[in-house]
Structure 1
Amino acid sequence: MDRTGAPSYHSGMIEISETLDARGLLCPLPVLKARKRLQSLPRGAVLQVWADDPAAVIDVPHFCNEAGHGLLSQDERDEMQVYLIRKGG
């Protein structure tokens, strides 16, 4: 679990700072909400994003690349996508 009490779907050694549940939201809302959440996090923090919008598989990596954030992983789990984004800066 991360510090919000939400279950973490990543089994590696990465510490997740916060989780954003963007399931049920359609483009561009998952990216807009991720951008807003990342603004409040310190540089180097990791945001876990849950999404089920089919466009997110294109939008999230593009957002990370354009904004200078690191996309640590992109997985499909339980009918959703799970992204780990390290805040750049």
Structure 2
Amino acid sequence: MDYQYELDARGLKAPIPVLRLKRAMAQMKPGEVLCLIVDDAHCRPDVQAFAHHARQKLVAQDINAGESRYYLEKS
């Protein structure tokens, strides 16, 4: 998956990764994609809820036991 920005939130616990995601996406242009990397499994519902409520497109997810990547496109 191609992306323009990467936000490495490994080591951070929910809700901090989503708060940083919100701040980062506010600086992006429509159509740009950000890859969020987390290792806290509790972030998954928060990322999905953020995408829905902020009307951003969650274009892909790569969820593994130790690390997950979420690709969000700025609307």
Question: What interval of TM-score do these two structures reach, taking the shorter chain for normalisation?
Answer: over 0.9
Q: Number of matched residues? A: 75
Q: What residue in structure 1 maps to residue 59 of structure 2?
A: 72
Aligned counterparts of 1:17 and 1:78: Cα–Cα separation in 2: 25
Q: Deviation per CA, 1:42-73, whole angstroms, max 9, x where unpaired?
A: 01110000001111111101100000000001
Aligned counterparts of 1:78 and 1:42: Cα–Cα separation in 2: 32
Which one scores higher on RCO, CA 8 angstroms, separation ≥ 6? 2
Q: CA-atom RMSD, angstroms?
A: 1.2
What runs of 5+ residues in structure 2 fail to find an aligned partner? none
Aligned counterparts of 2:45 and 2:29: Cα–Cα separation in 1: 25
Aligned counterparts of 2:56 and 2:17: Cα–Cα separation in 1: 15
Q: What residue in structure 2 maps to residue 83 of structure 1?
A: 70
Aligned counterparts of 2:8 and 2:41: Cα–Cα separation in 1: 15
**Runs of 4+ in structure 1 displaced over 4 angstroms?**
none
Aligned counterparts of 1:78 and 1:21: Cα–Cα separation in 2: 17
Q: TM-score, normalised by structure 2?
A: 0.92
Identity of aligned residues (%): 32
